[in-house]
A = this chain, B = another copy of it.
Amino acid sequence: MSRDVSIGAAAKASGVKVPTIRFYEQIGLLPSPPRTEGNRRLYGASDLRRLAFIRHARELGFEIDAIRTLLVLQDDPDQSCDAADKIARARLGEVEMRIASLAALRKELQRMIQGCAHGTVSECRVIEILADHGECRHHHQ
């Protein structure tokens, strides 16, 4: 059923690049797969699932360490999922802060660009606003 595939095929299937797969193996995020006679890695279905999991979690901005925890949880399905929930909640908090701060940033960039009359630098809002942080009263971090 789970016919084994090469690292290239695994990369294509999972969307994780070949060197990144090797990197994940190196840092112990992905188990070392068996090899062919010619020393090539052979990945099975469970490896592909794991890779997809990792990729998705990375896309969602989870750090490798958080993913490590999530993978341990996934491997042991009888455990309470409170830990997973906690990680997700922490991440949600981060995301919300990041969105708020990016929204403020967008506003400021828009203000800069709208103010730029395409003249010389001396009248340029972009440079001016960057130079005059005093004018800008938004909240960082």
Contact = CB atoms under 8 A, between A and B. Distances in A.
Interface of A: 49, 52-53, 55-57, 59-61, 70, 73-74, 76-82, 84-85, 87-89, 91-92, 95-96, 98-99, 102-103, 105-106, 108-110, 112-113, 116, 118-124, 126-127, 130-131, 133, 136, 140
A73 B81 CA distance: 54
Contacts of A49: 131
A81 B127 contact: yes
Contacts of A79: 120-121
A109 B60 contact: yes
Contact of A102 (B81, B98, B136, B140): B98
A124 B83 CA distance: 11
A126 B84 contact: yes
Given A70-B130, A102-B98, A105-B95, A121 B77 contact: yes
A106 B94 CA distance: 10
